[in-house]
Structure 1
Amino acid sequence: MNLIKDNGSWDTDKLAEVFTAEAIQYIMSIKPPTQGDIADSCYWRWTSKHDFELKSAYNKQVELTWEIANPIWNTIWSLQVPQRIRFFLWLSCRQKIMTNSERYKRSIAVDPSCPICHENEETTLHVLRDCNVISQSWLKIIPPSLLNDFFTFPISEWLKQNLESKLVIPGWNIPWNIFFASFLWHTWKNRNDFIFSQVSSSPDSTLAKSITWARYYHEGWQIQKPNTIANVTQSCWQHLEPGWLCLNVDGSVSSSSGCASIGGLLRDHLGNWIFGFNKSIGKSNILQTELWAIYIGLQLAWSHGAEVLQIQSDSKQAIQLIQDFSKISKALPLIRAINEIRIQGWMTEFHWTSREGNKPADILAKMANISDYNTITFATPPVELLQALAKDSTAPSNMF
């Protein structure tokens, strides 16, 4: 049975005779084979270039174990402190630092009690907050707004509240969360120096050291900030040079159903509407959806007679993959199909645009009927786009 129509698209009626509706949704997201296609090959979906990296495999394996979705991990790993302190905080949150309690569980200590106060089991929270020595130091420095609940929260909530705090310590000009992390780290180090090397530090010296290093972390980060990428986004679409046409494309994947749809629009260098389109492509991932949007958009622009075309997408990954001529990229059917269209008798170039600058394409993609696999074209702008197009009409000239 031939499941492909004469025009090269899937024959949904014949597919329905063989496959379930859910299976058809996955098939529709795959480009139908053509006579000149090369054999399929394996590629790795967890990297942008689709070549295998051990790091990506490891990250995928430990993804659920590390509870990446837990907001506290994002807070810890983005904190403006050295990596060794972030790692220490992560271990503390998981209650895995080598306290006597933990060492006792692993049969490398004979007594789980605190070697300083000798009153309680030496747990993570006892070491960092509740031991008499450290609790007296905390009472001297806790901001009044945090004092009520400071000694009542369990370890994860306690760390979360303090590491996410936006308070700045009066007189020191240091964010509380940076000082908090620094003080925990130096408290832990000094405690180990005393227990294992009999080197003692007074609470005041520990506090002074924590303040000094916290200020260093904070000021060092502030110096580095101007080096970060700035002005990489625009608030709206930008006019092109005369003679150019602009194809904006986007893809949308439903988080609940996994169904994907694409949309795009072609306009002249001033932003005047030429045509728009949308289409459902079944169930797909976001990268494949973005590539489908580019492929269908290029087909329509070519059939319309475009000669000089700029393609704008808010997917850096899709653009990089198309412009990468490695063996991996060439093995992907959609990449090959896109490049075959591009080498025809016209000039095409790709530019990344922000989500805000790509708003009309996003709206068109989300308007698609997920049960209709036909490409729908719009000779005039749908009402839902008028506000976004009006905003783009006041755009500045293109500064690429």
Structure 2
Amino acid sequence: MDPSDYLLQTETKDFYKKLWSLQLPSKIAFTVWRISWDFIPSFVKLRKRRVVSNDRCPRCNSEVEGSLHVFRDCPTTAEVWHLLNFAWAMKNRSHTIWEWLTWVFKRGNNDQCFSFCYALWWIWFSRNQLIHERNIIPGRALVLNIQQYVSEQKGLNGLKTKAITCRSYRVQELTPTARIHFDAAYDSNTSSSASSLVGWDMRGVLIALKTIIHRNVPSPFAAEAHACLEGVKLGISLQIHSVKLMGDSKTVIKKCQETSTDKSVIGAIIRDIQQKKSDFQDLIFQYIHRSENLDAHRIAKIAFEKGETFYLRGEELDSQNLALVGYRPRNPD
């Protein structure tokens, strides 16, 4: 038996369970179902069946029109996703429509998946309008239609202007962003380090404190890179889809921001960090001055001196436990 079959069954079950729970109109749900099975009659499929001779995309005419091109890669589609604040969905470069859809559904909340399904339907509808009626619907007009239909379906009176103002073409952030500060304490004599992590939610409420002791660490840069990697892992374990990772090591932050392969001595750690980006809708790396990172710095020193690790979150973050680990609460600026 293929051991990957179980994973596929689980993904299939989770995807369709979420799709049916969205309570979409039948035409929307059925279209998304067809897309997931790649039953959409794109020009690539029609040419294989010898129905058409030209399989170029009718909207951009730059690439062949497969399912992924229609719903993700076409410039008009990309404009729609950006205006709808789904730029994070464009970061996943899966090679099949099924992998991409399940990835988006896994990382999006119900409201996002609801809008995502409406957008898929409108993208396919506008494509057919162009082919059969020569009616061109620009990306911004598509966004307005999608927002209007989503609002009506949810029983809202008119389109609210909180999400996207197409007139000014400004995209506002809808996804709550958590902040995780990281730092490291390092001792060259023992080649060991302590990573410290301080997590805040979007309201500035402390949500997690964590320290990890590392052995056989070759340099201070490696210590900071380990701390950054632990911050990424913390974001995954907390199931936060939009995270801003903040540290005072300019070198590590710069390497994490780059997309090229890092060949330095800490390249393996940086690659581990970059490979985990797909677990998030949005993962931002930001350099901050040491004065803005005092909490993480102080906790790293305490953990290193005691040689202890700890992980506090939720109800464990009471005054007694915070005192035991030497933490003095201070809201971030």
Q: TM-score, normalised by structure 2?
A: 0.41
Higher relative contact order (CA 8 A, sep 6+): 1
Q: TM-score, normalised by structure 1?
A: 0.34
